[in-house]
Structure 1
């Protein structure tokens, strides 16, 4: 296994599994994207352990990445050159990755606004999937918006999988609680139009398979590892398109 893929798998096994069905030529860029998103999420860790210094530290780390993407700072992080190369080569759009940073910054600000949470989900988990679509060469804005909804649905399902633990995490969770989170995830799935996207782009929508399964189960799956059935469902959809 490619070292970069193994690192991505350890950081985010679900998205890395889905990425294995992408064309070979774009996989390294997507593995870098997965690791980049993981870096942004890890930048929030101090904010969840300290009332004052934590949020400031998180903002500083996220601003560092913003300045790298804006070309205001040398890319002196091991992931930064690959991400900048992908942006310069048109694999990912700079604006999409900047919105990933916006989404993580939203988590640093205590909030109970549902619209802010929905925007965070679309720009965060949704933005990751939009970037995957960009790597595939998808230009159609409606299709990219569907991918954002797909990613947001996956993110909502992932929150449900870990709901009890997340209650103590300090993360910006759905203001309407577990039931509201489940409903929001189903709405994101409907917005993704997962049964009507073009077959040639189906590999970009693979996280919707996990979203459907996670949202159907709810928080009773908390603490349990990802099952073989979930992985097999992704593999079936990846190989056969459904």
Structure 2
């Protein structure tokens, strides 16, 4: 199957298996644009671990900004992800919240409180979900933003062990001295994610938006796994990929997430 996938699709399959699974529920003609969007997100998210100094990260973010504005076409053409992102039927300003938020990745402990964590989640995955709805040509942007924000909060919780190892922390005020304190600081983040998912459930959205909204199904399952692990993000079960295609298929058939 890998041989038939575009470079963007292969990158998403490798590094964002949850979203890869949801794209398969999109109409055939919408899949490549979604893969390009999600691959762009991966490229931006990876900048922090690819640079040693914040200034180098800012330079890379600016390069991507100029690619999306059309100012780097000669350099973008040989870069399969950059060129796929450049071809998206979106305007460059659509990506600005995402690009600006990624600057926070270059600070070791960028969030002062829970509201700042949520703002980051909304500007990254919430923005991504809105853009995905646009690519699908459907309504449901408000619900998608809520679900995307929740999915990001859950993702930050699940990736806490990885982030801890790289010297970055999504916890308000930074990482704590011991795991019990880290679990306590993480609890409001996961509680807020569950609240956002509940709010999104009662919002109006069309079935056509489900390929974006189905990450909410996965987010709920990830929260269940985290709860079963006693809220410990360092438990190995928490970060394990689990795309759950049958569960997604069931929710898609029901028209819910």
Q: Give the shorter-chain TM-score range.
A: 0.7 to 0.9
| Contact 1:156 1:185 survives alignment (8 Å) | yes
In the alignment, the residues of structure 1 paired with residue 159 and residue 202 of structure 2 have an alpha-carbon distance, to the nearest angstrom, of: 24
Work out whether 1:159 is the aligned partner of 2:156. yes
Work out whether 1:183 is the aligned partner of 2:191. yes
Residues 10-49 of structure 1: pairs in structure 2 closer than 5 A: 10-46=14-50
Report which stretch shifted further, 219-228 or 104-113: 219-228
CA-to-aligned-CA distance 1:29-61 (integer Å, 9 cap, x gap):
1111111111101111145xx4xxx21111111
SS at the partner of 2:106?
coil
Shift of 1:13: 0.8
Structure 1 residues 144 and 195: alpha-carbon distance in aligned structure 2, compared to 1, 3 A threshold? closer
Match of 2:132 in 1: 132
CA-to-aligned-CA distance 1:103-130 (integer Å, 9 cap, x gap):
2112223423233322110111112211
Match for residue 232 of structure 1 among 231, 246, 257: 246
| Contact 1:129 1:204 survives alignment (8 Å) | yes
Structure 1 residues 191 and 55: alpha-carbon distance in aligned structure 2, compared to 1, 3 A threshold? farther
Structure 1 residues 30 and 163: alpha-carbon distance in aligned structure 2, compared to 1, 3 A threshold? same
Residues 70-81 of structure 1: pairs in structure 2 closer than 5 A: 70-74=69-73, 75-76=75-76, 77-81=79-83
Match of 2:119 in 1: 119
Report which stretch shifted further, 169-178 or 129-138: 169-178
Structure 1 residues 128 and 156: alpha-carbon distance in aligned structure 2, compared to 1, 3 A threshold? same
Residues 54-65 of structure 1: pairs in structure 2 closer than 5 A: 54-65=53-64
Q: So what's the TM-score if we normalise by structure 1?
A: 0.83
Structure 1 residues 93 and 117: alpha-carbon distance in aligned structure 2, compared to 1, 3 A threshold? farther
| Contact 2:47 2:57 survives alignment (8 Å) | yes
Shift of 1:172: 4.3
Q: So what's the TM-score if we normalise by structure 2?
A: 0.79
Match of 1:202 in 2: 210
Match for residue 94 of structure 1 among 92, 95, 116: 92
Unaligned 5+ runs, structure 2: 174-184
Structure 1 residues 95 and 174: alpha-carbon distance in aligned structure 2, compared to 1, 3 A threshold? farther
Match of 2:102 in 1: 104
Report which stretch shifted further, 23-32 or 184-193: 184-193
SS at the partner of 1:168?
helix
CA RMSD of aligned residues (A): 2.4
Structure 1 residues 81 and 193: alpha-carbon distance in aligned structure 2, compared to 1, 3 A threshold? same
How many residue pairs align between the two structures?
A: 229
Report which stretch shifted further, 9-18 or 195-204: 195-204
Shift of 1:134: 0.7
CA-to-aligned-CA distance 1:125-167 (integer Å, 9 cap, x gap):
11221111011113x5xx3132111111111222222333333
Unaligned 5+ runs, structure 1: none
